[in-house]
């Protein structure tokens, strides 16, 4: 039902069910191919449940939008992913510097080798 709500029912609510919401001739279609052969998606029964409840974005193998392949073999086709990640990192560092939050990024002294409070064990 959740998968139906996200597709056919959503199109109906938007008044677009004659254009989108299901894979039928004449309708617009954005399609994702999910790799179901992943350990967290096994056993291999009940594929609708596996996709709806257990799959996540990391399981998407291919994405087609308007007949155009945007993601192939988990790799963006029309963008330079490394360049985008570099820009995002640079902007994040500038934001942290502007807000003077550098100290929040340090690993706390108590992070390693202090998994329990020994004062409680007496």
Write out the DSSP string of 12-80. Answer: HHTT-TTTSSS--TTS--EEEEE---SGGG-S-S-HHHIIIII--GGGEEEEEETTEEEEETTEESSS-
pTM: 0.68
Question: Whole-angstrom Cα distance, residue 60 to residue 56?
Answer: 7
Question: Which residue ranges in the chain fall short of pLDDT 70?
Answer: 116-122
pLDDT of amino acid 94: 98
Domain spanning 2-76 has what CATH number? 2.30.40.10
10-35 per-position pLDDT tens digit: 999 999 999 999 989 999 888 999 99
């Amino acid at each position: 039902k959740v998968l139906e709500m996200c597709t056919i029912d959503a199109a109906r609510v938007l008044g677009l069910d004659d254009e989108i919401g299901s894979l039928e001739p004449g309708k617009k279609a954005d399609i994702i191919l999910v790799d179901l052969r992943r350990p967290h998606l096994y056993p291999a029964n009940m594929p609708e449940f596996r996709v709806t409840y257990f799959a996540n974005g990391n399981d998407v193998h291919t994405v087609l939008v308007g007949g155009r392949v945007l993601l192939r073999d988990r790799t963006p086709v029309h963008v330079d992913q490394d360049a985008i990640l570099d820009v995002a990192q640079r902007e994040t560092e500038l934001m942290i510097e502007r807000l003077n939050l550098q100290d929040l990024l340090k690993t706390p002294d108590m992070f390693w080798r202090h998994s329990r409070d020994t004062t409680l064990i007496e």
